[in-house]
Structures are given as C-alpha cells and as structure tokens.
Structure 1
Amino acid sequence: MPTPIVVPSLGNVNRQLKVSLWLTRAGEQVVSGDRVVELLMPGVTFDVESPCTGTVIACECQPGVEVEAGTVLGWIEPADVDEPELGS
C-alpha cells in the first residue's frame, strides 16, 4: 500500500507555505529520511523527508502550489522489507 509524503506540522507557524521544488521524480528510489521536496515560507525553505524506503510513484503538488500541514504532497511505494538480503 502506498505511503503518503505529507507536509509536517510546523507547530504554531501560520504562514503561507508553497511547494518550491521536487528533489526527486516519479520512478526514483528513495531511502527513509532522504530529502524529497522543498517547501518555501517567506524567508525560509525547508525539506520534507521521505517517510519510508521505496519508489516515488506520484508527485501531486507541483511547484507554486500553496499547502498546509497534513497536505499530501505525493506517494511512495514502500520497498518490500520482507525479502531476504543477497548473501543471507
């Protein structure tokens, strides 16, 4: 089941947030914690990290789109962690 890439809660910050740019593309593999999308607030940029290891399957919010905490930015198909590693 795909895992959403979600805008994290920024506490009490109530500023305009926009998608600045995607650091990955659909079809690319990512590792949990990789930077996948950059968000922009007036005067500040920050990166949203991949919530899991897998393949980016959709980038739903394009650059310039306004977002808020909880907005789904895209989706990752998680890697099958049940497969044994080679050489095991």
Structure 2
Amino acid sequence: PGTEHVLEIDAAVVALGNMSNPLMAKTTAGLNVNKRGNIIVEEETQRTSLDKVWAGGDIVLGAATVILAMGEGRKAAANINEYLAKK
C-alpha cells in the first residue's frame, strides 16, 4: 500500500507468444537483435542497445520457461530501480 504510482510513458509493449516479430527489428533503429530476431541484452542488467530500454523473457531467450523469464524480469526491475534512483 502506498507504493502505487502513475508513469507517463510513450508506449507499452505487451508480448505474448514465444517468437519475435520481424517488424520490431526493422522498425526500431538502434535495437540490436540476433539472427533469430531476439533482442540482445546485457546479461547482468537486461539493458538493450537503446537508452532506457530493458528486455527479458521470450523476446531475449526465445521459447523458455516462466522461471527464466521471471528471473530476467527481477534483474531488469532491479536495474531500472537503480537507474531511477540515480536520476
């Protein structure tokens, strides 16, 4: 309680499924992807090649388990929190 807040964002991407959309890499300048179209991230932080963009789960790993996706989400959330705390 008391920790909820509203963030003003430009876009939210809802990702369902386990394959990357080829349009994502073609329409997002500067986003580094591998040969399968999965987003390349820094392993410890889940940061992408784009400033202020983190990714995890199937779009990074390909089809994987929920447990792996949750672990990546936790790493990303911790790094986002650290990033915001410095601002």
Shorter-chain TM-score range: under 0.3
- TM-score by length of structure 1 reads 0.24
- TM-score by length of structure 2 reads 0.24
Higher fraction of strand: 1
| Structure exhibiting the larger radius of gyration computed from Cα positions | 1
Structure number with greater CO (CA < 8 Å, separation at least 6) is: 1
